[in-house]
């Protein structure tokens, strides 16, 4: 048999595997399940204790085009239902991460969703391990309060014996090569040469117009945010579930690192984009912002950072912060 025939057989095998690799219903063998419908219907298909990680950013009940605005009480009831089913499918060593911002009442009152989610999860028997602050520079500019520039990720576990891999998510120290210069340890590294713990404040750009991952979805989260959770809280082959998957950012983060994924969304067009993105991720062709890329810092010399000359006399208590054109 010639080499060419071997190659052809391999290709056919790959094509066959790829066709069943993304499924519309949960199958333990598929690389990704992208379910069209309500999150509870998908969760019902997943057996007890099957998921290593459940990570999501649910609707915030703020009137986005994919949600119906409900009373705050009714909204919390839906969240409770999702969380209860999620806990059922969570493995004893597993983690649940709920990424939330604020619900804003009609009169502008702010309701930090993590406070409410925390209470629900505590009643469901989960234990909080970190309240991660995800901070970013861009977003709406508020007129009657300070502009919101962070959201939170509540990380819970089901038991005290949970997966936590710190090494894959370490970040460089400020002085990475620093060594002890005297004493018994002289010459040895004074800090972990693999890097330091990234801490619980994560600065990661949110997905706005010029972000490489931007799709038509109004509120997708960045893949690198989920990648950190996937790497730290699961092992290869584990199942990562997102009950509100949108355009599939969670599934991309999971399959990029050899984990299986499952998620639901009620909007067919988002799932179509999700399928395309997951397929590219599986083929190693997904365009994304790589984990750990430094944040771009504009310098005062950049034209865009300068105040126009005719506005330079506007009262400011911090004129030194602005260059003028
Ligand atoms: C904040 S977005 C999640 C975006 C996602 N993290 C991403 O990066 O694409 C919330 C998603 O929940 C979906 N959704 C709303 N109600 C749902 C339901 N009952 N079941 C499943 N998905 C739902 C919306 O269509 C929306 O895409």
Q: Is 7 within a domain?
A: no
Number of domains in the chain: 2
**Structure tokens belonging to residue 118:** 């925390």
Q: Are residues 313 and 284 in the same domain?
A: no
Ligand 1: atom nearest CA of 243 is 21
Q: Are residues 171 and 317 in the same domain?
A: no
Q: Are residues 289 and 310 in the same domain?
A: no
Q: Is 152 within a domain?
A: yes
- Taking the C-alpha atoms of residue 291 and residue 146, their distance in angstroms, rounded to an integer, is 29
Give CA separation, 81 vs 51, 60, 94, in Å. 17, 15, 19
Would you write out the chain's pLDDT as a tens digit for each of its 325 residues? Answer: 333 333 344 545 544 455 459 999 999 999 999 999 999 999 999 999 999 999 999 998 877 788 888 899 999 999 999 999 999 999 999 999 999 999 888 899 999 999 999 999 999 999 999 999 999 988 889 999 999 999 999 999 999 999 999 999 999 988 878 889 899 999 988 888 899 999 999 999 999 888 999 999 999 999 999 999 999 999 999 999 999 999 999 999 999 999 999 999 999 999 999 999 999 999 999 999 988 888 887 776 766 666 667 766 666 667 666 666 5
Q: Are residues 246 and 143 in the same domain?
A: yes
Q: Does the C-beta of 66 come closer than 6 Å to ligand 1?
A: yes
Is residue 257 a contact partner of residue 239, using CB atoms and an 8 Å limit? Answer: no
Is residue 135 a contact partner of residue 206, using CB atoms and an 8 Å limit? Answer: no
Residue with tokens 């595997």: 17
Q: Are residues 19 and 81 in the same domain?
A: yes
- Residue 46 belongs to what domain range? 14-294
- Taking the C-alpha atoms of residue 148 and residue 191, their distance in angstroms, rounded to an integer, is 35
Q: Are residues 287 and 312 in the same domain?
A: no
Residue nearest to atom 12 of ligand 1 (CA): 244
Residue nearest to atom 7 of ligand 1 (CA): 220
- Taking the C-alpha atoms of residue 64 and residue 60, their distance in angstroms, rounded to an integer, is 8
Q: Are residues 310 and 180 in the same domain?
A: no
Q: Are residues 104 and 43 in the same domain?
A: yes
- Ligand 1 centroid – CA 219 distance (Å): 9
Q: Are residues 270 and 321 in the same domain?
A: no
Q: Are residues 138 and 250 in the same domain?
A: yes
Q: Are residues 276 and 310 in the same domain?
A: no
- Taking the C-alpha atoms of residue 188 and residue 113, their distance in angstroms, rounded to an integer, is 46
Is residue 157 packed enough to be buried (19+ CB in 10 Å), middle (13-18) or exposed (0-12)?
Answer: buried
Residue nearest to atom 22 of ligand 1 (CA): 265
- Ligand 1 centroid – CA 262 distance (Å): 13
């Amino acid at each position: 048999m010639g080499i060419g025939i071997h190659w052809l057989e391999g290709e056919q095998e790959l094509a066959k595997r790829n066709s069943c690799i993304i499924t519309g219903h949960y199958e333990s063998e598929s690389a990704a399940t992208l379910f069209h419908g309500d999150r509870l219907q998908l969760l019902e298909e997943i057996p007890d204790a099957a998921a290593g990680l459940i990570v999501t950013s649910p609707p915030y009940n703020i009137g986005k085009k994919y949600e119906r605005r409900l009373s705050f009480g009714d909204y919390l009831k839906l969240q409770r239902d999702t969380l209860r089913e999620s806990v059922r499918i969570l493995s004893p060593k597993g983690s649940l991460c709920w990424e939330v911002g604020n619900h804003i009442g009609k009169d502008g009152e702010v309701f930090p969703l993590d406070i409410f989610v925390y209470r629900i999860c505590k009643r469901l028997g989960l234990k909080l391990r970190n309240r991660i602050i995800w901070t970013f520079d861009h977003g709406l500019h508020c007129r009657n309060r300070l502009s919101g520039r962070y959201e939170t990720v509540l990380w819970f576990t089901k038991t005290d014996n949970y997966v936590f891999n710190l090494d894959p998510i370490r970040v460089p120290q400020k002085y990475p090569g620093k060594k002890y210069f005297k004493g018994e340890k002289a010459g040895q590294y004074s800090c972990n040469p693999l890097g330091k713990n990234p801490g619980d404040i994560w600065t990661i750009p949110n997905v706005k117009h010029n972000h490489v991952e931007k799709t038509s979805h109004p509120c997708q989260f960045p893949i690198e945010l989920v990648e950190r959770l996937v790497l730290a809280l699961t092992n290869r082959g584990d199942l990562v579930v997102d009950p509100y998957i949108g355009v599939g950012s969670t599934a991309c983060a999971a399959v990029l690192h050899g984990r299986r994924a499952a998620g639901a969304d009620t909007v067919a067009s988002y799932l179509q984009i999700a399928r395309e993105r997951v397929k590219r991720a599986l083929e190693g062709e997904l365009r994304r912002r790589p984990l750990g890329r430094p944040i771009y810092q504009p310098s005062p010399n950049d034209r865009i950072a300068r105040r126009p000359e005719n506005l330079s006399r506007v009262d400011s208590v911090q004129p030194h912060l602005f260059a003028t054109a």
